Structure 1
Amino acid sequence: MIKLSKYNRRSLYGGLIAAVITGTGVFLLGNISGYEAKKLITSSLPGINMLCNTIVLASATILALLLTLLGISSGSKSKLKQAHYTQVMAIAKLDTILFVIAIILFQIFNIPITESEELPTTWYSTIYWATLFLSSLLSGGMVSVILMLYNTVINMIKIVGLGDEDHPLVFQEDNIEEENE
């Protein structure tokens, strides 16, 4: 299990807040019947498919850019602590999870559920709520990844661009025992 830094915890809280806000907005619609849910699923699926597409593209791009970040990190004149690489690893892990879930959901959402005559009408409200819940989680996860990236980029600017040798992520020879903890 990866130990989360305070920055990563804040980012995850930000994503959780985004998911709750998105989910709450949908929850305010109240109880809906199966027929209403079927109509709402039909109208919301294009937007949800676009969300999945966007998250897949953004996640793939972020993973590629993390390789560039690692190149900059290893090429900097400051030796970075293990915590920096742990943060990058946490971003990559969450980003990959989002990538896989978004692809799976994109495939599931492309099944023509509303065209089926075999599916009981009562199931549509469950499918509708599950769809909205999952899209809220995807949105919150993407917010978390972006906030984690923001923290990492700010740290890299301070260390590499501004030459902050006293930054908490810069390895200092006199703090060897701190690094080992």
Structure 2
Amino acid sequence: MTSFVRENKHAIYGGIIATLFSGLGVFLLGNVSGYEAKQLLTSSLRGIDMLCNTIILASATILTLLLTLLSISSGTKSKIKQEHYSMVKNIAKLDTILFITGLILFQLFNIPITETDTVPTGWFETIYWAVLISTSILSGTMIVVILMLYNTVTNIIHIVGIGKDHQLILDDKSRDTDEENE
């Protein structure tokens, strides 16, 4: 886990900043009563559904694009280090978690809770904050995945497109070491 954080610290910082930024906007709204929370939930559910749909679609697209990235990586003339494939694997893992979480939240947010009279009004404040916090985290995680993908694509562009020496290209010395590790 620490190597994941170390390797992707810039992407993680970007996601944390985005999460805090959107969370700050929520925090500035201040304390809301149960009735206000119900009204705010009712008015924002359409946007929250759209956010979840967008994240689900983007996550599925990213997973598909990762297959293309792997195809390009394996088809290059240069032998690429295992570290590259580890980066792609980490993106795929996080993106899959994001996809599943977005799908589950989409299902939860489509429960017509604001239409019922059986839920106590006081609960809406808790539901409201849970929805806002979860969507902030979801957005921040999407930004982490996109920044990780950007870093990986940039590396491939340097290796394949520009043809520049890169830290992810195996040279003769590291090729022998890499083969010994397998």
Query: Is the partner of 1:4 in helix, strand or coil?
Result: helix
Q: CA deviation at 1:6?
A: 4.4
Whether the 8 Å CA contact 1:7–1:148 is kept in 2: the answer is no
1:55 corresponds in structure 2 to 55
Compute the RMSD of aligned alpha carbons: 1.7
> In 2, distance between residues paired with 1:24 and 1:5?
24
Runs of 4+ in 1 over 6 A off after TM superposition: none
> In 1, distance between residues paired with 2:146 and 2:46?
24
Q: CA deviation at 1:82?
A: 0.7
1:172 corresponds in structure 2 to 171
Are residues 1:157 and 2:123 paired? no
> In 1, distance between residues paired with 2:34 and 2:40?
10
Query: Is the partner of 2:119 in helix, strand or coil?
Result: coil
Unaligned runs of 5+ in 1: none
1:66 corresponds in structure 2 to 66
**Percent of aligned pairs with the same residue?**
63
Map residues 97-176 of structure 1 onto 2, 5 A cutoff: 97-164=97-164, 166-176=165-175
Q: CA deviation at 1:178?
A: 6.1
1:92 corresponds in structure 2 to 92
Q: CA deviation at 1:3?
A: 3.0
Deviations 1:93-129 (A, max 9, x none): 0100000000000000000010111111000000000
Q: CA deviation at 1:173?
A: 1.3
Whether the 8 Å CA contact 2:5–2:12 is kept in 1: the answer is no
> In 2, distance between residues paired with 1:39 and 1:12?
34
Whether the 8 Å CA contact 2:37–2:128 is kept in 1: the answer is yes
Whether the 8 Å CA contact 1:2–1:86 is kept in 2: the answer is no
1:3 corresponds in structure 2 to 3
Unaligned runs of 5+ in 2: none
Comparing 4-13 with 123-132, greater Cα deviation is found at: 4-13
> In 2, distance between residues paired with 1:137 and 1:5?
17
Whether the 8 Å CA contact 1:78–1:171 is kept in 2: the answer is yes
The 3 A distance-change label for structure 1 pair 112 and 156 is same
> In 2, distance between residues paired with 1:59 and 1:5?
21
1:38 corresponds in structure 2 to 38
TM-score (norm 2): 0.94
